[in-house]
Structure 1
C-alpha cells in the first residue's frame, strides 16, 4: 500500500509542477546548434555564459538551450576537453529567444580522439539525454580510447574501471557475472541486465568488448526506465557507428598462450546521405588453463541514412561464433563439510579433454530518430537476437568430491536456444511553463523472450552409471576416459515470457539552482506456461507451473541543488522489484518484492570539465524478502519449501567515489573506490531461512581502481605512450550463504582474501603506425572467482599482449 501511495504522490506532484504558471517574463533564452567541421552534430560539448555561472552540455543532436537569462550582454563560451575554447558576444532581450550556432574546427573523427573517458559524458542508458550534473544517480562510462589503451578483450576487463563494480563469477568459463551495491546482474541470458545499444542482450559466450565505442553503467535502481532489472547495476554496450568520412584501422594483436587476434574497423560514406561501418575480429588462443582454448569470429556491420536534416535511420547487425572449452575451474574438497580450495597448480583442468561449448549468435536492430524541432525528438527502436548454445562435457564437481580429491564424473549434454525481440519508443521534449523549465521523457518498451532447452540421457556403457573417476589432486592416480559417449535427446522444453512497461519522467527546473526529477513506470512481466516435447515419442505436454503475471509500479523522485554550474548535490528515492516463485500459506502466487533505495551524492566538473569528482552514498532495503513459512494457514508446521512468507529482509549500505581527469588529449587518469555492506537484517528461525547478519556471497566490501596514461609531445619523445592500471578486490565470501537447520551443519561459505592486480603499458606511434604492449598482473597475484561451491576459477597469471595497428586516415 505504501508503494501505491508513493507512486500516487509522485504522479500528482508531476502533474502539478507541469502546470505551474509563473509570471516572471523578464528573462530571455539562448538556443543553438554546435557542429563539427564536417557538418555532424557535436554532442556533449560544454556551453556556458562567461559572466554568470550558468551552463549546459549539447545533446546527442548537437543542440543546446539556456533559459532564464536576465537581459544584458554576455560572452557565450564553448569548451570541450582537449579543444580550444570558442567565444561569442551576445545580447539577451527580455521575453525573447535568440539562436547562436557554433562550428568547431575539428571534424567528427578528431572530436572522438579527444573524448577520452566518460564520467562527465551523457549516459545514453538514461534515455532522456540528461546532462551528467542533472543525473541524480552514480554512473560510469568507459570509452573506446580506454578500452584500446588497456587492450581489453572481455566485458570484465572493461568494467574494472567503474567504481563499486566487481567481476564476481565466471560461470563454467563461458559467461561472466558482475555485482554492484550487493546485487548481481544474474545470468547471461536475455532475462539479465546487460544491454547493447539500449536493448536487452544475451551475453553467453562473452560479448566482444575490444570493438565497442563505449561501455556505460547505471548504478542502483534503474527500474523507472528498464523495469525488472538488478538493483545494483545495469550495463550498456555501445557499438561503433558509421561516419560520413573515410577512415578506419587495421590491427594485429598477439599475446601469451598463443593469442592471435586481427581486428578490422572500416567506415565511410556510400552516398551523400548514406554511410557504413564494418567492425570485425577473429581470435584464436590457448590459455593458462590446461586444455582450454578459444576460437571466435565477430562481425558488426552497420548503415546510417540521413533522411533530411531531422531524421536518421541506423541499421546494425551482429554475428558472433564463439567456440570455447567449458571450464569449471579446479573444484573444491570436502563438499559435505567446510569447502576447501585445493592446493593445485593454477593450470589444473578437471573437465574432459574433448569438452566443448559452442555459441552462435546473430542480432539486428533498427533505430529511427526524428527531431520535430530543436526541442522535441522521437526515437523508435526495434531489435531481435538469436542465441544457440550446444555443450557437452563433465558435470559440475558439486557435493561429490571427497576430502582426498576423488571425483566420480558424470557428463552433461545440453542444447539451448534463446530468441528475444524488443520494441521501444521514446519521446523527449524541452519546454517551459512560465519560468519553470521541463525536460520530459515519455516512453514504452516491450521485450519478448522464448527459451528452448533440450535434455539428454548419456550412454556411459553397459552397466555403468558414471563416466569415470579422477583425482583432482593427483591426476595420475586413475586412468581417465577419453572417448565421447553417445547422448540421446529426451525432451525439449519451451519457455516463453514477455516484459512490458510504460514510463514518464520529467526534469523540472524550478530555478537556476533547484531542480526536481520525478517519474513513474508501470511494468508487467508474464511468464507463460512451458511446453515439453518428448523427443522420443513427439508428444507435447504442458509444464506443471501455470502462466504467471506480475505487475509493479516503480516511482523515482529526486531533488537537485546546483549552487554553481559545475557542482550538483542530489538526493533521491527509487525502487525496483524482484519476481518471486512459490505461493503463500493460502496458496496464492507470491507478488513481486519491492526493494527501496535512497541515494545522495555530489558531482563536480572542474576546470571546464577536465576533472570530475563525484561521491554517492546509498541505502537499499528489501523488506519483502520471501522465505520459507514456518507454519501453514491452519497453524501446523510447514515442511514445504515452496510455501513462503514475506518476513525476510536484506540491507545494503555503501558509498562510491570517482575522480577522473582528462587534462588534455595526451593525458588522462581514472580512479574509483567503492564500499558495500550487504547482509541479511531479518530472518525467521525456520529451516531454510538465511542467517541474520551474514554478508551475502560474492560481494567484496571494498573495491578500487586506478589508471593513468600519458602520451609525450616533446620532440625527442613525441609518440611515446606510457600507462599503468591497478585493480583491487577486497575480502569476500564465495560458496553459498548458510541457512538455519542446514544439513550438514558445516559452513557453506568459502572465505576469499583480497587481491590487487597491476598492469603496465607502453607504446609508440609514428605517423599512421602504432604499437602498444602490456604486461598484466605483473606480480603474478593468485586469487579466485567462485560460482556456488564448484566453479573455483584462478585469476589469470602474468601475461603479455601487444597490438600493432595501422590507421587508414
Structure 2
C-alpha cells in the first residue's frame, strides 16, 4: 500500500512539474507557402540555435512546441525555393503564429529535379551529375530546329553528337545506351532497340528535360548510360483559357527550290478551381533538306519531306486538399513521303551518298504511331508525412524502317512494341536536430511485348513477351544542410518468353551470299539481379561542393538483335546474359556570385558487354568486358542582367578486354567503335537581351572534334563502325522580336556559316549507303501569338 502511495505521489508531482514547465514555455505554429502561393509541402522549418525542427504537412502547416521564451530565427528551406529566415519572439504560455511565402530559386544550384531519385529534390542534394533543359531554352531552340537530337546535342555534356536523322543510333550517353522516358514512362525498347526513341514527341509539349548521366540503379532496365526524362506541359495560370499559337515556315538558304516547309502549333491551357488542363496539337511538314552544296540529302532515316503530327491532352483534378488525379494522352507520328531514292556514295574515295528522283518501294519510313496513355494519383497518405505517387500506363509504338535488299526478295522491317505497367512510389521524410531523413520506396511492374516483323508479314525478330517486377528503396540523409548521404537498392525479376521460330534468310549486299533460315527452339529467358547505388555530397560552400558516387545499371542486351542472327538451334545456347554496369563518378560544383562551374570524371565497367559489330553483312553481338572513362566540364555565367553565357566540354573513351585478362592494354584489346564512343565535343551559347522586352539574340556553337583510334583494313579502307571522325564546327542562331506582350516574330538559322561536313555517324559508320553530308544553312521563321 505504501509503495502504491509513493508511485501515485511521484506521478502527481511529475504532472505538476510538467504543467509548470509547459506554462513557462511557448510554441510557434504557422503556414509556409511557395512562390505560387500554394502550400509548401514537406518544407523544413528549423529553430536556429536549438535542436528543434519540423516539417510542413500537405497544407503547408507546421508546429514547434516547448520553446523557452526569447528571440529566435526560423530557417525555412523547401525544394525549388531560396532559403528564407524570419525573426520570431516566443512568449511563455502562448503560441506565436507566422506566415511565410518563399521565393523561387534563381539559380541552377537549387533547381528542382525529379529523375535522379524519383522524388522532388534540389539539384545540390544529388551526388551525381544531372543536366536540365528548361522551357525557355526549349522554346528558343524550337525556333531553330524541332529535332530533339539536335537540341540536346548542344546542351547536354556527355551526349554524343546528333545524327541529324530520324534515327538516334550512335547518339549514346557516356558511351552506353540510355533510357528515354516521357513523364517517367519508358519509350525505349531494350528488347529490340530501334534507336528511334529520342524523337518520341514534339518539343512543343515539353516543359523541361532532365538528364541523369551514368548507370542508374533506381530505374532499372535500359539505363546503362543514364536516362533522359521528358516532362510534359503543366498549366501555370489562374485563368480558365490561355492560348499559344505558332505559325512558321522553313527552308534552305543555299538552294530554296522545293525546300520550303511549314509548321502550325496550337496550345490551350488553364485552370478553374480544382480543375486544370492542357490541350495541344502540332503539325509540321518539311520540304527537301539540302547539304552545303545545295544537293538533296538522301532519304534513308532522313527528315526531308516528312509529315509530323502530335496530339496532347493532360487533365488534372484536385479531389481534395490531400489527393490529386491526373490523366495524360500523347500521340506522335513522323513519316517521310519522298520521291527520292538513295544513290550510294563511296566511302573509301570520299564520295558522298546522294539522292535521285525515283519511286520508293514499300511504305513511308518513320514513326507510324507512338501512343502514351497514363493515369496518376498523387497526394498524402496521412501517415508520417508520407506522400505517394501511383500510376498505370500504356505505351505503344510502331516504327517503320527503310527498304533493304539485305532481305531475300527485299523488304521493310518495323518494330512493334506495347508496354503496360503500374508504379507505386512512396516518400517518407522526417527531421530531428540537425538531421533530415528521406526514404523513397516502391514497386515497378511492367509487361513489354516487342517484335520486329517485315511489313509484308515475314518474321525477322519473333515476339518477345517480357514481364518485369522490381521493388526498390532509396534513403537520403542530410546533416547540417551540408552533408548528403544517399543509397539505394533495386531487385530485378524478369521473364522473357519466346516461342519457337525460324530465322529469316538474308543476303550479303556486297557478295550476294545468302545465309539460310534456321529453326530455333524457343523458351523462357529469366533474370534475377540486385543493383545498388551509394553517393556522398558535401556542400561545404558555394565555392566548393564535391560529390562521389557508385551506381549500378541493369540492362538486358539487345535480345532481338541476338535472336534474329542466331546461328544455333536453341535459344538456351545463345548468350543472353544481362549487362551489369558499375559506374564510379566524382565531381564538384563551384559557384562564385553569378558564375557556376561543374567538373565530373567517371569510370564505367561491365564484365559482360553487348557491343554490336558488323560481321560478314550481319549485325552480331560481342559479349566481352568493357571499360569506359571520361570527364565533363561545364560553366555558366550570368554576365549581366541581360547577358547569359555557357560552355561545356565532353571527353569519352572506351576499350574492350578481348582476351579477358582483366586488363585493357593487350594486343587483342581494342577501342570501342564509333557507335559507342563519340569524339570529344565542345559547345557554347550566348543569350543576349539587346532591348529588354523587345529584342533577344541567341548564338550557339557545337564543335565535334576528331577521333582516330583504328587502323585501315586490307582494302586500304576501314571496317564498319571503326573509322576515324574528322572535326567540324556548327553555329546556330535565333533572333526574337516582341511586337507586344502577346505577339513575337522569331528567325532561326541552322548552320549559319554553311559548314560543309560529313556527320560523325556517317564518318565512323564507313558505309557507302550512309556516307551522308550534314544539313546546310537553313532558316525557320516563326510567328508566336499568346492570349
User: TM-score interval w.r.t. the shorter chain?
Assistant: 0.7 to 0.9
Give 2:686's match in structure 1, choosing from 682, 695, 708.
Answer: 708
What is the correspondence of 1:130-141 to structure 2 with a 5 Å cutoff? 130-141=121-132
Query: For 1:738 and 1:585, how far apart are their aligned partners in 2?
Result: 35
Tell me how far 1:702 sits from its aligned partner. 1.5
State the partner residue of 2:373: 364
1:730-777 superposed Cα distances (whole Å, 9 cap, x missing partner): 22369xx899x9999964422111222111221111221111112121
> Would you say the 8 A contact 2:603–2:630 is kept in 1?
yes
| Aligned equivalents of 1:613, 1:122: Cα separation in 2 | 18
Q: In the alignment, what sits opposite 1:659?
A: 635
**Counterpart of 1:601?**
587
- Judged with a 3 Å threshold, the aligned counterparts in structure 2 of structure 1 residues 261 and 274 are, in CA distance, closer, same or farther, namely same
CA shift, 1:267, in A, is 0.7
1:449 equivalent to 2:448? Answer: yes
Structure 2 CA distance for aligned equivalents of residues 85 and 436 of structure 1: 16
Q: Is 2:220 aligned against 1:220?
A: no
Corresponding position of 2:515: none
The answer as to whether partners of 2:200 and 2:370 remain within 8 angstroms in 1 is no
- In 2, are the aligned partners of 1:430 and 1:438 still within 8 Å (CA)? yes
- Find 2:243's aligned residue among 248, 254, 264: 248
Q: How does 1:674-693 map to 2 (within 5 A)?
A: 674-683=650-659, 691-693=668-670
Cα separation, partners in 2 of 1:341 and 1:711, compared to 1, 3 Å: farther
> Using the alignment, how far apart are the partners of 2:660 and 2:312 within structure 1?
51
Deviation at 1:49?
10
Q: Is the 8 A contact 2:234 2:278 kept in 1?
A: yes
1:461 aligns with none
- C-alpha change, 1:605 and 1:92, in structure 2 (3 Å) is farther
Determine the structure 2 residue equivalent to 1:273. Answer: 274
Correspondent of 1:194 among 169, 174, 180: 180
Q: How far 1:675 sits from its partner (Å)?
A: 1.4
**Superposed displacement of residue 273, structure 1:** 0.8
Give, in angstroms, the shift of residue 448 of structure 1: 1.1
Task: Provide the C-alpha distance between the structure 2 equivalents of 1:697 and 1:763, rounded to a whole number of angstroms.
Answer: 37
Structural mapping, 1:107-506, within 5 Å = 120-151=111-142, 152-160=145-153, 161-167=155-161, 169=163, 173-175=166-168, 177-185=170-178, 193-202=179-188, 203-204=196-197, 206-223=200-217, 225-243=218-236, 245-246=238-239, 247-256=242-251, 257-269=259-271, 271-288=272-289, 289=297, 292-325=304-337, 331=344, 333=346, 340=348, 342-344=350-352, 352=360, 356-357=364-365, 359-372=368-381, 375-390=385-400, 393-395=403-405, 411-432=410-431, 436-455=435-454, 493-506=462-475
**Structure 1 pair 134/329, CA: closer, same or farther in 2 (3 Å)?**
farther
Shift of 1:650: 1.8
Please give the TM-score of this superposition, normalised by the length of structure 1.
0.73
SS of the residue corresponding to residue 563 of structure 1 reads: coil
Report what 1:768 is aligned to: 742
Task: Determine helix, strand or coil for the equivalent of 2:529.
Answer: strand
Give the drift of 1:785: 4.0
Deviations 1:606-657 (A, max 9, x none): 54xx5432221111122344899xxxxxxxxxxxx999998x4322121112
Structure 2: gaps of 5 or more residues: 1-24, 189-195, 252-258, 290-296, 505-517, 563-567, 613-617
Is 1:518 aligned to residue 528 of structure 2? no
Aligned mates of 1:797, 1:48 — CA distance in 2: 58
Q: Distance in 2 between matches of 1:684 and 1:793?
A: 36
Residues 149 and 162, structure 2, Cα contact 8 Å, conserved in 1:
no
- Describe the SS at the equivalent of 1:573: strand
1:752 aligns with 2:725: yes
Rounded to whole Å, the distance in 2 between the matches of 1:353 and 1:762 is 41
Contact 1:163 1:674 (8 Å CA) reproduced: yes
Q: Is the 8 A contact 1:494 1:531 kept in 2?
A: no
- Residue 504 of structure 1 and its aligned partner are, at CA, apart by 0.9
Cα pair distance change 1:616/1:695, threshold 3 Å: same
Q: After TM superposition, give the deviation of residue 133 of structure 1 in Å.
A: 1.4
Separation in 2, partners of 1:604, 1:565: 6
1:245, distance to aligned residue in structure 2 (A): 2.6
2:776 and 2:611 map into 1 onto residues whose CA distance is 41
Shift of 1:149: 1.0
* C-alpha separation in 2, matches of 1:620 and 1:720: 45
- After superposition, give the CA deviation of every residue in 1:416-439 in whole Å (9 maximum; x if it has no partner): 422111211111111246754311
Q: Is structure 2 residue 646 aligned with structure 1 residue 670? A: yes
After superposition, the Cα gap between the structure-2 partners of 1:522 and 1:724, relative to the gap in structure 1 and judged at 3 Å, is same
Closer/same/farther in 2, CA of residues 602 and 795 from structure 1, 3 Å limit: same
Find the residue that maps to 1:158 and give its secondary structure.
helix
CA distance in 2, matches of 1:738, 1:780: 31
Report the secondary structure of 1:145's partner residue: helix
Q: How far apart in 1 are the matches of 2:151 and 2:62?
A: 31
Partner of 2:705: 730
Q: Is the 8 A contact 1:319 1:363 kept in 2?
A: yes
Once residues 228 and 378 of structure 1 are traced to their aligned partners in structure 2, the CA distance between those partners, rounded to angstroms, is 23
CA 1:199–1:287: 2 relative to 1, 3 Å: same
Q: Name the CA distance, whole Å, in 2 between partners of 1:786 and 1:59.
A: 52
Deviation at 1:670, TM superposition (A): 3.3
* Displacement of 1:493: 3.7
Counterparts in 2 of 1:79 and 1:361: CA distance versus 1, 3 Å: closer
- Secondary structure of 1:786's partner? helix
Structure 1 residues 731 and 576: alpha-carbon distance in aligned structure 2, compared to 1, 3 A threshold:
same
The number of residue pairs the alignment matches comes to 685
Query: Which residue of structure 2 lines up, in the alignment, with residue 719 of structure 1?
Result: 694
